[in-house]
A and B are shown apart, each in its own frame.
Chain A
Amino acid sequence: MPVQRIRPFFQAINEAIAQCMADDPYVYIIGLGVPDPKGIFGTTLGLVEKFGPKRVMDMPTSENAMTGIAIGSAIVGMRPIMTHQRIDFALLALDQIVNQAANWHYMFGGQMHAPLVIRMIIGRGWGQGPQHSQSLQNWFAHIPGLKVVMPTTPYDAKGLLITSIEDNNPVIFLEHRWLYHIKGHVPEEIYRVPLGQASVIRQGKDVTIVSTSHMTLEALRASQLLEKEGVRTEIIDVRTLKPLDQATILESVRKTGRLVVADTGWRFCGYSAEIIACVTENLFDELKSPPIRIGLPDCPSPTSPALSRYYYPGANEIINAALKSVGRKTNKETMYIKPTKPHDIPDADFTGPF
């Protein structure tokens, strides 16, 4: 095995941006706080020093106008990367994203395109609350003309971001903030992970777990315990919600006959429903038990840790679902995996405030 180059997720993002900017003079990055001392959780640190303030820019708190401005620059040849510290702030720009960017290529008969990447960070924990931690990937995946990317590993973060920047369409690139310090192999050179390919990150014959973003880590934790229980899981990290790699998912469920979907968003009308619809439409007769969705309950994100404790499903819920799908007795209350840190922080070092 070649030497592993271990880097955190945030640095993988940073490298992707830096290498694309070095590669293509039309790529620029803009967003609130992009050149500030914190550099968007480290993902934009050092860029302004390398590429100068004309290509690495702060902006007014004007999400809607600035998105339109980015789109305008994109249709005449620029390749903007727009960054929002929370997906919730990008909601101010929905008109530009949905009415304009998504439709531009189509509504003018394919004469122009809008190659732009909009990075949105999904917040969670430490009382981020109702307006700072929504997980709205399914909204964007619903819109024809948008591509939606949600990496989990540092390797994919870099490879998918490079592909997204080079793509000729508007791409919504969603980063879960609890992934920023996850470490993994990240090659130094430019490489591409294609959009529209899910990744089988664990093979097993009993239950297929399809997961998005941070829930993939929970699925991995769950799998270790399930293995001890004699249940072998196959984990598929969706990676690109749109275009969706149906083939990989179907192939896996054809083998296991069982499906659990774990998404970071709300369950009701959520992305997991799309996966289950795809499987039931295609493999109805091959399913051995009903597919199970894991996601957020149908209420806003509460601030108090006493409530958020019951809000976010994790490895324990996945274990329960997998056991249920193989017909084992389950108990909702059982803590299969004991917590090693408070539930509202990404790691033991985190002490707030943001």
Chain B
Amino acid sequence: MDKKTLIRLFFQMLRIRIIEEKIAEHYTNQEMRCPVHLCIGQEAIPVGVCAHLTNEDYVMSNHRSHGHYLAKGGGLKCMMAEIYGKANGCSSGKGGSMHLTDPSVGFLGATPIVASSIPIAVGTAFAGQLKGEDRVSVAFFGDGATEEGVFHECLNFAALKKLPIIFICENNLYSVYSPLQVRQPEGRRISTLAKGHKIETHLGDGNDVINVYRLTKKAVERARSEKGPSLLEFMTYRFREHCGPAFDNDLGYRSKSEALGWEHRCPIKKMRKFLGDKGIITDGDIVQMEKEIEDEIDSALTYAQKGPFPTEDILMDHVYAS
């Protein structure tokens, strides 16, 4: 991998991290009046995956979508405004954090009903095949989503039609407060479920952006060369509470030592060390990056905070297309 790519991957992870932390910091001001599901700790997956996609490719996501949206190139300003419930938000304030969209870059949408956007992503791949287009679709979802019937039905159909879709499972071991052990059989990996459908599948380290990048590269090549779908399962960990800005390890549903172990495996720390050891970036470079990102966020926050609220007359807009 060339230096430029490595630096870009690092920068994008750092950008998502700082944006998410900024949201957490401002959330307590009670101005972002909608649930937020932060992806702090899981940044390597969206970044490593989306690095292979163009604006022509489609991405769909779930409730924990900020990273997917940003990595795909979704606009930061209108994302912030959306979370603030403003008319200049990416969904005109009608959706909030759980319903981000930026069709201009192929981020078609995020919806928080677990697994509900997976078939829609498959449908976009199906359309691409019908229309003879050269597009790849990606469905991001969590470990919990693989328990829904629709996930399995989608694997079957995608395999049947050899669709250009990549299923990305972000396995962070939990669905809200429920650990995998109470939801899925012990010793059975999610990635192996795809094997039964003859779908190409790999298990990867979701906290290692280079690993994510490499595995996705192959999957995208497969999809583009009409060889059919892939499923990639990436192990990762959410650092903060399921929903909201805080830490919640005091609740006792996961152990302090487990959380600490994952903190040591922070994808950003890991990449930073790797790049530092190789002499690819210096601490000075990072300070520069942080400054650039913070400036960008400041202006996005201003855009969101100063943006107009939607007015009563648009309540009934958009119910039907004209």
A and B together in one complex:
yes
Seen from chain A, the residues whose Cβ lies within 8 Å of a Cβ on chain B are: 32-33, 36-38, 58-65, 88-89, 91-92, 126-132, 297-300, 302-307, 310-311, 344, 351-354
Q: Does A61 contact B145, Cβ atoms closer than 8 Å?
A: yes
Q: How far is the CA of A62 from the CA of B115 in the complex (A)?
A: 10
CB distance from B158 to the nearest CB of A (A): 20
Task: Write 29 A-B pairs (CB below 8 A) sorted by A numbering.
Answer: A33-B177, A37-B252, A58-B178, A58-B182, A58-B183, A61-B115, A61-B148, A65-B149, A92-B150, A126-B34, A128-B34, A129-B34, A129-B98, A129-B99, A131-B98, A131-B112, A131-B113, A297-B315, A299-B319, A302-B93, A302-B315, A303-B91, A303-B95, A307-B94, A310-B312, A352-B27, A352-B244, A353-B27, A354-B243
B70 to chain A, nearest CB (A): 19
B residues less than 8 Å from A306 (CB atoms)? 85-87, 93, 309-311
A310 and B99 alpha carbons, distance in the complex (Å): 20
In the bound complex, how far is the Cα of B114 from the Cα of A88, in angstroms? Answer: 11
How would you classify the secondary structure of chain A's contact residues: helix, strand, loop or mixed?
A: loop
Asked if B139 is at the interface of the complex by the 8 Å CB criterion, the answer is no
Question: Is chain B's interface secondary structure helix, strand, loop, or mixed overall?
Answer: loop
Q: In the complex the two chains form, what is the Cα distance from A344 to B93 in whole Å?
A: 15
Per the bound structure, the CA–CA distance linking A211 and B99 in Å amounts to 32
Quick check: is B287 within 8 A (CB to CB) of the other chain? no
- CB-CB under 8 A from B94, the residues of chain A are 129-130, 300, 302-304, 307
- In the complex the two chains form, is A304's CB within 8 Å of B148's CB? no
Contact partners of B147 in chain A: CB under 8 A: 60-62
Complex contacts, A62 vs chain B, CB 8 Å:
147-149
Closest residue of B by beta carbon distance from A64: B149
| CA gap between A143 and B273 in the complex, in Å | 61
- Central interface residue in A37, A306, A310, by most chain B CB within 10 Å: A306
Interface readout for B21-56 with A: 1 if CB under 8 Å, 0 if not?
Answer: 000000110100111100000000000000000000
Interchain nearest-CB distance for A298 vs B (Å): 7
Which of B87, B99, B147, B150 neighbours the largest number of chain A CB atoms within 10 Å of its CB? B147
Nearest to A299 among chain B residues (CB) is B319
| Count of residues in B whose CB is under 8 Å from the partner chain | 52
Given contacts A36-B176, A297-B316, A303-B99, 19 further A-B contacts (CB under 8 A): A32-B178, A36-B177, A37-B251, A38-B177, A60-B147, A60-B184, A62-B149, A63-B148, A92-B148, A126-B35, A127-B96, A298-B319, A303-B95, A306-B309, A306-B311, A307-B94, A307-B310, A307-B312, A353-B245
Docked Cα-Cα span, A306 to B82, in Å, equals 12
Contact of A351 among B30, B86, B99, B112 (CB under 8 A): B30
How many residue pairs bridge A and B at CB < 8 Å? 142
Are A127 and B310 CB-contacts (below 8 A) given A36-B178, A58-B183, A303-B93? no
Binding site for A on B (CB under 8 A): 27-28, 30, 33-36, 85-87, 89, 91, 93-99, 111-116, 144-145, 147-150, 175-178, 182-184, 243-245, 251-253, 309-312, 314-316, 319
CB distance from B82 to the nearest CB of A (A): 8
Q: Which residues of chain B come closer than 8 Å to A300, judged between CB atoms?
A: 94, 319
Nearest CB of chain B from residue A62's CB, rounded to whole Å: 5
By a CB distance below 8 angstroms, the chain B residues around A65 are 149
Q: Which residue of B lies closest to A125 (CB)?
A: B33
Complex contact A89–B149 (CB within 8 A): no
Looking at B86, B177, B319, the one whose CB has the most chain A CB atoms below 10 A away is B177
Closest to A127 in B: B34
Provide the bound-state CA to CA distance between A256 and B190, in Å. 63
Instruction: Compute how far the CA of A299 lies from the CA of B313 in the bound complex, rounded to whole angstroms.
Output: 12
Would B310 and A304 count as touching, CB distance under 8 A? yes
Closest-by-CB residue of A relative to B248 is A37
A297 and B98 alpha carbons, distance in the complex (Å): 22
Cα distance A305–B34 in the bound complex, in angstroms = 9
Nearest opposing residue in chain A for B314, CB measure: A307
Q: Do A353 and B149 touch across chains, with their CB atoms under 8 A apart?
A: no
Tell me if A344 and B33 are in contact (CB < 8 A): yes
Contacts of B183 in A (CB 8 A): 58-61
